[in-house]
Structure 1
């Protein structure tokens, strides 16, 4: 019975995998075809029809110049770099304190981090928006930076798993040599967290790069547009210029795909090494 059912099971499994692959790659396939079609060609062809030529770069030139994508890339890089630096110190310091020190309320703090992760962020946006506005950061690059700096439960637990593998005897030896708590964090803990930091930096960068909600809400000025909100330039009240939108999506996707493919081994290695067993 098992021998007879295996081919059927294998057929079903492969069929589901091919279906999943089709659902994932079909949108990208349609975007690639649309990006190389002119306005008239796009209007008179269906989504499955190939463009007359894949050497037509007019859409990409239009997007780069009229869509101000170079400026959007600059804003995105600035926000990402400032956010990563701040997030690195906040998250690793929080993990260092929670992983190395014993104090009252430690379990409560960890429980609060876990509980907050179940609250939809959109439900707290009124209070968050009020705070950002009171600080005078609304419609500035520092508004999303301040929000991205905060750590989350995934970062915290990945760092905690790495810190717990570092012998406490290293801290004691450093204290005997006269090192301060910050000196131990800077000279011992931070270097040993390098694999986890590399993993979290890559994941955090992708999340910031792809996020549209926070930049759109807190930076409505067109001069402060990032790569995600720059796509709104090709959307009108009644029409959407899909050929330009598709070209912009390809240009925005390219750095993420190349970066992830180049660094995916660091992502998987860091997550596996710091996973909770």
Structure 2
């Protein structure tokens, strides 16, 4: 029995080691190639001549306009998060607390919208963005991130189900309106859900490539995800510059996840457990 348990332990650690290598290998290759000069045509897995070669990073800051990309990205993230929080909490409060006809139909539509492949609706969405005059503006991704994603509603609905309805009834007895109940009771109690939403949506928007690339082709509307495209063409790709760009834009998300991962797991699990 002891030998069998030891064998299982060995298999477990071998699988964990393989999984770790699979996860860490791509960042390892990115780091190696970010410090290679253009005349280093060796294998992409070989070490660079020097890890003190920052020429790629200097060129990236000049040609990819990284600082402008960070500014546009953080602006889109900030405005989108405000919209997600406001609309997400209001819609979830109305569906979870206020009785009205068609509530189940609305929830069903939300669920259907979440499982429809995004690519199948792009023609309609693109035409809508153009008709609203939002094409090639920062409002295009903001509108899409706020209105075309039901993640915030799902997260807030999980938490609202765990808030005792007796709190609403006590406030109604004291003469509080629905808006006052939402502002003074529901919204503060949704703090953990809001933290979870902010973290998940920030990472999602920060890493999004398709929407900025499609709806904001202007050079001055570059975002961190589309800044990589400055060094790629149909015929060739400048891998040293691309890896340097990836390394720069990867740092904020890694730091965000490392410092706030416990809030992500705690927020998701707390919303799924009934008290």
| 1-structure distance, mates of 2:21, 2:162 | 42
| Aligned residue number for residue 8 of structure 1 | 7
Instruction: After TM superposition, give the deviation of residue 235 of structure 1 in Å.
Output: 0.5
Instruction: After TM superposition, give the deviation of residue 242 of structure 1 in Å.
Output: 0.4
1:250 aligns with 2:218: no
* Structure 1 gap ranges (5+): none
| 2-structure distance, mates of 1:197, 1:131 | 29
| Aligned residue number for residue 70 of structure 1 | 67
Instruction: After TM superposition, give the deviation of residue 79 of structure 1 in Å.
Output: 0.5
The match for 1:214 among 206, 211, 214 is: 211
**TM-score normalised according to structure 1 size:** 0.94
| 2-structure distance, mates of 1:265, 1:274 | 14
Instruction: After TM superposition, give the deviation of residue 157 of structure 1 in Å.
Output: 3.0
Size of the alignment, in residue pairs? 274
| Aligned residue number for residue 97 of structure 1 | 94
Instruction: After TM superposition, give the deviation of residue 262 of structure 1 in Å.
Output: 1.1
Q: Write the deviation string for residues 77-121 of structure 1: whole angstroms up to 9, x where unpaired.
A: 110001000111111111101110122221121122112222100
| 2-structure distance, mates of 1:75, 1:143 | 12
| Aligned residue number for residue 190 of structure 1 | 187
Q: Write the deviation string for residues 10-43 of structure 1: whole angstroms up to 9, x where unpaired.
A: 33322222111111111110110101111112x2
1:169 aligns with 2:152: no
* Structure 2 gap ranges (5+): none
| Aligned residue number for residue 155 of structure 1 | 152
Q: Write the deviation string for residues 240-276 of structure 1: whole angstroms up to 9, x where unpaired.
A: 1100100000000000000111111111111110015
**TM-score normalised according to structure 2 size:** 0.95
The match for 2:127 among 122, 126, 130 is: 130
